[in-house]
Amino acid sequence: MIQSRPIPRKSKQGIEKMRQSCKAASIVLQKISEGIKAGVSTIELDKIARRAIEELGGTPSFLGYKLPRHPPYPAAICASINEQVVHGIPDGRKLVDGDIISIDVGIFLDGYHGDNAFTFPIGQISDEVQHLLDITQAALYKGIEEAKSGNKLGDVCHAIQSYVESNGCSVVRDLVGHGIGRSMHEEPQIPNYGRPGSGPRLKPGMTLAIEPMVNAGTWDVKLLENSWTVVTADNSPSAHFEHTVAILSDGPEILTWNEELWG
Ligand code: MF3
Ligand code: CO
């Protein structure tokens, strides 16, 4: 993988600020999780997020976010149901028993962004879909284990890919994780696939949003008419878990860890 710009490294103070923004992001995600049940619409979940972000003194990282050739992102969260991979736009659609919903939320607080995502089951889901959720979350931790000083970025990417594929699912190729800090998207791009020993060396002070997006079926995806929402090409269900992680001299620190949600 070719890195065009250097990977920002945060000072001790920068890491401390990242701890604050990421802690806040984890609180917002946890508050949203309390509202998730059959009958609730995704716009109601967005309202919970906006309120929580404001209470914490931050602003939503995603609201108004611009990608080339896209209209500005219109909400505080991404709420992606079933075959939707990421960037589901909140609307009046109500959750029903058997759905899964990936919630992704970012907060900008005191100059730094925190970013995290979790896929939740609604009521009773099939064993196959439960397997998808379990292995996607486990793949995130496989990646994080490799996110240590001295390793190469490709070690992280490869750990995610090999775990997912050996468990019968596939990683989305068209979307990546990312460095994060003063900007939501910094160098490096973090694909969920790659060769061990490839890419830039990881160093203390780097802060990374690692986010496997995993499909039960094939890895290919397509874009909906709204130009944001990514769905699986074969309509198979898809899961997404994301942590923001700091590379420290003594190993990775999961900045968005929240015992109530992830424990
Ligand atoms: N966690 C996603 C990302 O890191 C969410 C971005 S949504 C957007 O890319 F609207 F802000 F683009
Ligand atoms: Co992200």
Q: Which atom of ligand 1 is nearest to the CA of 62?
A: 11
Output the ligand 1 site: residues, CB below 6 A: 62, 65, 73, 78, 87, 104, 115, 178, 209, 242
Percent of the chain with pLDDT over 70: 98
Q: Where are the domains of the chain?
A: 12-262
Neighbours of 243 (CB within 10 A): 29
CB 204 within 8 A of CB 248: yes
In 16-167 the beta strands, taken as DSSP E runs, fall at: 59-60, 77-81, 84-86, 100-109, 112-121
Give the C-alpha separation, 50 to 58, whole Å: 10
Ligand 2 centre and the CA of 124: distance in Å?
A: 28
* pLDDT confidence bin for 69, thresholds 50/70/90: confident
Ligand 1 centre and the CA of 62: distance in Å?
A: 6
* Per-residue pLDDT reduced to its tens digit, 102-143: 999 999 999 999 999 999 999 999 999 999 999 999 999 999
Chain position carrying tokens 């070719």: 2
Q: If you write DSSP's letter for every residue of 31-47 in order, what string do you get?
A: HHHHH-STT-BHHHHHH
Nearest-CA residue for ligand 1 atom 6 is 62
pLDDT at 55 > cutoff 60: yes
* Per-residue pLDDT reduced to its tens digit, 150-208: 999 999 999 999 999 999 999 999 999 999 999 999 999 999 999 999 999 999 999 99
Whole-prediction pTM: 0.97
Q: What's the pLDDT score for residue 5?
A: 84
At the topology level of CATH, where does 12-262 sit?
Answer: Creatine Amidinohydrolase (3.90.230)
The pLDDT of 40-68, averaged and rounded, is 97
